[in-house]
Chain A
Amino acid sequence: MVLILIDHADGQIKKASYEALTYGADVAKQLGTTAEGLLLGTVTANITELGKYGVTKVNQVSNEALNNVDALVYAKTIAEAATTLGAKVIVFSHSQTGKAVASMVSAKLKAGLVTGVVSLPKTDGGFVVKKAVFSGKAFANVEIKTDVKIISLNPNSYKIVSAEGSAEVVQLNIAVDAPKIKVTAVNKVSGEVPLTEAEVVVSGGRGLKGPENWGIVEDLAHVLHAATACSRPVADSGWRPHHEHVGQTGVQIAPNLYIAIGISGAIQHLAGVNRSKHIVVINKDPEAPFFKAADYGIVGDAFEIVPKLTEEIKKLHNS
Chain B
Amino acid sequence: MKVLVCISKTPDTTSKIAFKNNNTQFEEAGVQWIINPYDEWYALVRAIELKEKDASITIHLVTVGGADADPIIRKALALGGDEAIRVNTTGDDSFYIASQIADVAKQGGYDLILTGKETIDYNSSAIGGAIAGLLDLPFVSLATKFDLNGTVATITRELEGGEETEEVSLPVVVSCAKGVAEQRIPNMRGIMAARTKPLKVVEPAAVDALTHIVSYELPPAKAGVKLVAADNVAELVRLLHEEAKAI
Contact = CB atoms under 8 A, between A and B. Distances in A.
A222 interface: no
B128 A103 contact: yes
A134 B228 contact: no
Nearest to B14: A267
Interface class of chain B by DSSP: mixed
A253 B240 CA distance: 19
Given A71-B132, A102-B126, A143-B212, A295 B226 contact: yes
Given A99-B142, A104-B133, A299-B230, A294 B222 contact: yes
Interface string B113-154: 000011011111111111111101111111010000000001
Interface in A108-147: 108, 110-116, 128, 130-146
A contact patch SS = mixed
B70 interface: no
A271 B123 CA distance: 12
B103 interface: no
Interface stretch (A157-165, A180-188, A208-216): A180-188
Using C-beta atoms within 8 Å of the partner chain, give the interface range for chain B. 35 or more
A34 to B, nearest CB: 24
B94 A113 contact: yes
B246 A278 contact: yes
A318 B38 CA distance: 45
Contacts of A130: 217
A72 B141 contact: no
Interface stretch (A45-53, A54-62, A242-250): A242-250
Interface string A264-299: 000110010011011111000000000111111111
A145 B212 contact: yes
A13 interface: no
Interface footprint category on A: 35 or more
Nearest to A309: B233
Given A142-B212, A194-B161, A312-B233, A75 B247 contact: no
Contact of B130 (A104, A142, A271): A104
A183 B210 CA distance: 34
Nearest to B237: A312
B160 A101 contact: no
A309 B240 CA distance: 11
Given A102-B126, A133-B216, A245-B178, A146 B210 contact: yes
B213 A313 contact: no
A185 B164 contact: yes
Interface stretch (A22-30, A35-43, A81-89, A300-308): A300-308
Interface stretch (B54-62, B72-80, B165-173): B165-173
Contacts of A99: 117-118, 125, 129, 141-142, 175
B219 interface: yes
Contacts of A300: 230
Interface of A: 9, 14, 70-72, 75, 94-96, 99-108, 110-116, 128, 130-146, 180-190, 192-194, 196-197, 200, 224, 235, 242-243, 245, 248-250, 252, 256-257, 267-268, 271, 274-275, 277-281, 291-301, 304-305, 308-309, 312-313, 315-316
18 contacts: A95-B160, A101-B129, A103-B126, A106-B95, A106-B130, A112-B95, A113-B124, A113-B210, A115-B126, A145-B210, A187-B165, A190-B161, A277-B244, A278-B244, A280-B236, A295-B222, A296-B240, A299-B230
Interface of B: 11, 13-14, 17, 19, 37-38, 41, 93-95, 98, 117-118, 120-134, 136-142, 144, 154, 157-169, 175, 178-179, 209-219, 222-223, 225-230, 233-234, 236-237, 239-241, 244, 246-247
Given A145-B210, A297-B225, 11 more contacts: A71-B139, A103-B125, A103-B127, A104-B132, A107-B95, A113-B130, A128-B214, A135-B121, A187-B164, A305-B233, A316-B241
